[in-house]
Chain A
Amino acid sequence: ETGVTQSPTHLIKTRGQQVTLRCSSQSGHNTVSWYQQALGQGPQFIFQYYREEENGRGNFPPRFSGLQFPNYSSELNVNALELDDSALYLCASSDTRILAGGSSGEQYFGPGTRLTVT
């Protein structure tokens, strides 16, 4: 089991509402990435935070936004929820300093938050 935690475990929201999901990265990891996994699909990259700034984004609209805090934990915010936002949201932590030094770059995933939009 990794040291990456996510909350809440499950969430039910209504279309048009806003939601905040939380992730605590593994100790010592400075980079958090967020992924959306629809049923039966592989995870899709939403964005990555490094040193409290977004430094990469996938093909997701601006209503998907995030934050990273000085302790490297992170939030994913989704505004104006749509039915298609129903998915498992995963965060992954890694240490970019290790990556720059040519080491593994392995990513560790949390258990996910299951979001249902009705």
Chain B
Amino acid sequence: KQEVTQIPAALSVPEGENLVLNCSFTDSAIYNLQWFRQDPGKGLTSLLLIQSSQREQTSGRLNASLDKSSGRSTLYIAASQPGDSATYLCAVKGKGGATNKLIFGTGTLLAVQP
């Protein structure tokens, strides 16, 4: 059974700092991994999608890496800004099966202090 864990559960950093969020999963047979951002009480915004054959994806100040063999992904945020404050969720889609079911971690709550 796939389980996704995110560490740390919460993180507070000063503005301008570079930071790394961690995601680990127990079953390496994944189709892809997505990182999402969620503002309080809101829906999910997709940040980056990494296919199982890829090692990393970049979008602006965000870089996500994937190491399938070790069951880990990291989200690197460069030069953090107060507007980056949100909960960050990672989710994996397993290989096989008929559905697009995503298994989520519980998220990392990020606060960027001005």
| Interface residues in chain A, defined as those with a beta carbon under 8 Å from any beta carbon in chain B | 2, 4, 6, 31, 33, 35, 40-45, 48, 50, 55-56, 58, 88, 90, 92, 94, 96, 99, 104-112, 114
Q: How far is the CA of A3 from the CA of B8 in the complex (A)?
A: 32
6 contacts between A and B (CB under 8 A): A2-B45, A6-B43, A42-B89, A43-B44, A45-B99, A45-B102
Which residues of the other chain, B, contact A104 by a CB distance below 8 angstroms? Answer: 32, 49, 51
| Cβ–Cβ contact B46 & A56, under 8 A | no
With an 8 Å Cβ cutoff, the count of chain B residues facing the other chain is 27
Task: Determine how close the nearest CB of chain A comes to the CB of B108; give it in whole angstroms.
Answer: 11
Q: Within the complex, which residue of A2, A50, A107 is in contact with B102, where a contact is CB–CB below 8 Å?
A: A107
Is there contact, CB below 8 Å, between B98 and A56? yes
Question: B-side interface residues toward A, CB under 8 Å?
Answer: 4, 31-32, 34, 36, 41-46, 49, 51, 89, 91, 93, 97-107
Bound-complex Cα distance A107 to B91 (A): 11
- A4–B101 alpha-carbon span in the complex (Å): 17
B-chain residues with CB within 8 Å of residue A111 when the two chains form the complex: 42-43
Q: Tell me the complex Cα distance, A109–B41, Å.
A: 13
Contact B106 A42, beta carbon cutoff 8 Å: yes
Which residues of B lie under 8 Å from residue A42 when comparing CB positions? 4, 89, 91, 104-107
| Contact of B101 with A105 in the complex, beta carbons under 8 Å | no
Given contacts A42-B4, A42-B106, A106-B34, contact A90 B44 (CB under 8 A): yes
Residue of B nearest to A102 (CB): B51
Residues of A with C-beta under 8 A to B36: 109
